[in-house]
Chains A and B, each alone.
Chain A
Amino acid sequence: MRLRGASVFFSASLVLILGHANKARADFEMHYPVIDYREFELEHNGSTSIDGRGAFNNNQSYTVELGYGVTPWWEPEIEFDMGAEPGQNWTYSATTFENTFQLTEQGEYWADLGFYAEYQRSAVRGQADQINFGPVAQKAWNDVLGSGLNTLHTVNLLFGKQVGEARNDATPVALSWQSRLRLDNLFQPGIEYYGNFNNIAGPTTMTDPTHRAGPVLVGFYNMYQYGKVKYELGYLVGLNNATERGTIRWRFEYEKSF
């Protein structure tokens, strides 16, 4: 019932999105498939690159997001995207309407499954808008090999498509993976990978893919009726020449149920 309801709603949303409809996306944001129903969230994501090569150094990206768990299976968010390319001034780059759909009940199946869809309205003149969508999955693997360690693994596979007059025909794909140890609420160390493949549906005439991987710390502090604060702090190492040597990324979030 939930799957059918979510599918119908997702289809309707996608049609709506396609009816209108890009950017420099927040590349280092992991999406999770579990919705916190009736929870308001205020979130900030940011990243900055470190590289001896001037064209790759100090590439900055910042987002502020507001979201709410409207139903047990749907959370829409509005995101405001800012950033600065290396050597350039800050600009407001896009406004993004994000949607996360929870497709399975947490813990009911082998893994938890969701679907993510966003529409990016570019704020940069001459730049196309973009939709990004795809599955998000999460697997809790507890008491790994009898060690007593609890782990959580999340994967996102998002496909992109530009829309509007300035669009190109590329189909970029963003793959992200995060595995972490649930040692403590405040301290959950892990590793993560972010890959961007610029075009999978045609000749590879565009820029090279980028690959980044590195350690991450995740945690939260529950203030009960006063809400919850969450954080993620990671350092990503560029794995090929097309990628910055290093990127620091962070995420801070405040959640409050109503």
Chain B
Amino acid sequence: MIQAKSIRLASLLLAGVLAGAMDLPGPARAQEPANFNLAIQDHRFDPADLAVPAGVRFTITVKNLNPNAAEFESSDLDREKVVVGGGSITVFLGPLTPGSYEFFNDFDPVARGHIVAK
């Protein structure tokens, strides 16, 4: 009996998480987040320092202008995503507290930059 109750409770809990994940109510999604652009070319990011507003959700479109694959990675932001050569990806971020968050190309760690939330 306790077991069945536990399962029901767990299922409800998970259903809540899933509903949230699928963003059913969606008030926070009513507005499209602002988008910022970042390019990877040769051994650098352009811009190397990207200013974003603090406290709001936003996206970054990362374009890889090199023929080889790159990986946008940030330990500070817990993101890691491959961009194929000549391709682009969208990274969903925020809200961030004011500060500087480092990112790098994991396939070419010389290429580094910062997202600066103000």
Residues on A close to B: CB < 8 A? 36-38, 72, 104-113, 135, 137, 139-140, 142-143, 148, 152, 155, 157, 173, 175, 182, 185, 195, 197, 200, 204, 209, 222, 224-225, 257
Contacts and interface: CB of A to CB of B under 8 A. Distances in A.
Contact of A104 (B21, B75, B93, B109): B21
Contacts of B22: 104, 109, 113
Given A142-B95, A148-B97, A224 B6 contact: no
A36 B7 CA distance: 31
Contacts of A140: 78
Contact of A225 (B13, B28, B79, B107): B107
B3 A200 contact: yes
Interface SS, B side: mixed
Given A109-B23, A209-B3, A257-B107, A155 B17 contact: yes
Contact of A200 (B7, B20, B75, B108): B7
A37 B22 CA distance: 22
A175 B10 contact: yes
B61 interface: no
Given A106-B92, A140-B78, A225-B109, A173 B7 contact: yes
B82 A157 contact: no
A157 B75 contact: no
A248 B75 CA distance: 28
A106 B79 contact: yes
A182 B78 contact: yes
7 contacts: A38-B82, A107-B93, A111-B17, A112-B21, A157-B14, A195-B6, A257-B106
Interface in B73-118: 75, 78-82, 90-97, 104, 106-109
- Which of B78, B96, B108 gathers most chain A CB within 10 Å? B78
Given A107-B79, A148-B97, A197 B23 contact: no
Interface in B14-42: 14, 17-18, 20-23, 28-29
B109 A72 contact: no
B18 A113 contact: yes
Interface in B35-76: 69, 71, 75
Contacts of B81: 37, 72, 106
Given A111-B21, A225-B109, 9 more contacts: A72-B82, A105-B90, A107-B91, A111-B18, A139-B17, A148-B97, A182-B78, A224-B104, A224-B106
Contacts of A104: 21-22
A114 to B, nearest CB: 9
Contacts of A106: 79, 81, 92
Contacts of A143: 95, 97
Given A109-B21, A225-B107, A257-B106, A197 B91 contact: no
Nearest to B71: A257
A17 B17 CA distance: 27
